[in-house]
Amino acid sequence: MPPATRPHRNFYGRRKGHYTKPTQLAVLEEDLSTLSPGPVDWDVNPDRTPLDLERLFGGRDVWLEVGFGGGEHMVHQAAQNPDVGIIGCEPYIDGVAMLLAKIREAEVDNLRIYPGDVRDLFDVLPDATIARAFLLYPDPWPKSRHHRRRFVTAEHLEPLARVLKPGALFRVATDIPDYVRQTLEEVPRHGFDWLAERSADWRLAWDDWTPTRYEQKALREGRSPHYLTFRKR
């Protein structure tokens, strides 16, 4: 759906911090363009030509992280899974700068970054091409009137389901109980099965998990993380 006809609401908050360090601006200018997944934005891809993931990652499985925050998890997964290509989408430009610095330090080369609205990225991802997706500590939009801005709504889950392969995993981490409720209500309605069989399956982190700064903040403030795993039917 073109931006002009989409509902005027974001599932994310502000796009830029109050002060971006000069070093962050330098990294953005030097590194971001080389890590683009390809033409995504409407001004460079008005025909919505699908991305060539085969060319981009050489036939490797492709994973998607929606809203990678500071990039801790994304870099960790890239280092642990060099045989996988990972695309990260994050509209908050300070988070993009933090990820770029981490990529330099870790020297991983199997990542690509889209610094914008994931709905635009969904437009150009081919059907049934993503093998795993992550939604980690998304903006909770705690007020009831803002719940429709959450990612776990039809506006985002329908295109997510379209781009995921059958059998693909979708992981959601959140410390907000009402976000857990909405996730468990909405995600199965869009072609997913929740894989939990016992309480440990949502109370304990995944074996390959690395804590993010958002999780650490939640723990400091006494909130319990939940780890939800779904499989695309």
State yes or no: pLDDT of 1 exceeds 90.
no
Nearest to 133 by CA among 58, 73, 201, 54: 73
Q: Assess whether pLDDT exceeds 80 at residue 99.
A: yes
- Residue 13 inside a domain? The answer is no
* DSSP H/E element including 123: helix 118-124
Would 15 be classed as within a structural domain? no
Query: What confidence tens digit (pLDDT) does each residue in 148-192 have?
Result: 999 999 999 999 999 999 999 999 999 999 999 999 999 999 999
The arithmetic mean of pLDDT across residues 52-70, rounded, is: 96
Residue 71 lies in a domain: yes
| Assessment of whether the complete model's pTM goes beyond 0.95 | no
- According to DSSP, the β-strands at 164-174 and 226-232 are antiparallel
Look up the domain containing 204 and give its range: 3-7+20-232
Q: Which CATH number is 182's domain given?
A: 3.40.50.150
| Residue-level pLDDT at 208 | 98
| Confidence tier at 9 by pLDDT (50, 70, 90) | very low
Question: Residue 30 has what pLDDT?
Answer: 78
Q: What's the rounded mean pLDDT across residues 96-105? A: 93
Residue 14: inside a domain: no
Query: Which residue matches tokens 């939640």?
Result: 218
Does residue 140 lie in a domain region?
A: yes
Please report how the helices 72-80 and 93-106 are oriented relative to each other, as an axis angle in degrees rounded to 10. 30
Question: How many domains in the chain?
Answer: 1
Question: Could you tell me which residue, 9 or 183, shows the higher pLDDT?
Answer: 183
Q: Across the chain, what does the average pLDDT equal? A: 91
What tokens appear for 122 in the block? 């969904």
For the chain, where are the E strands, in sequence order? 61-66, 84-89, 111-114, 130-136, 164-174, 192-194, 226-232
> Exposed, middle or buried by CB within 10 Å (0-12, 13-18, 19+), for 194?
middle
On the question of pLDDT at 74 being above 70, the answer is yes
The pLDDT score that the predictor gives to residue 8 is: 47
Residues catalogued as catalytic: 139
- Mean pLDDT of the region 87-102: 93
Contact by Cβ (8 Å): 175, 224:
yes
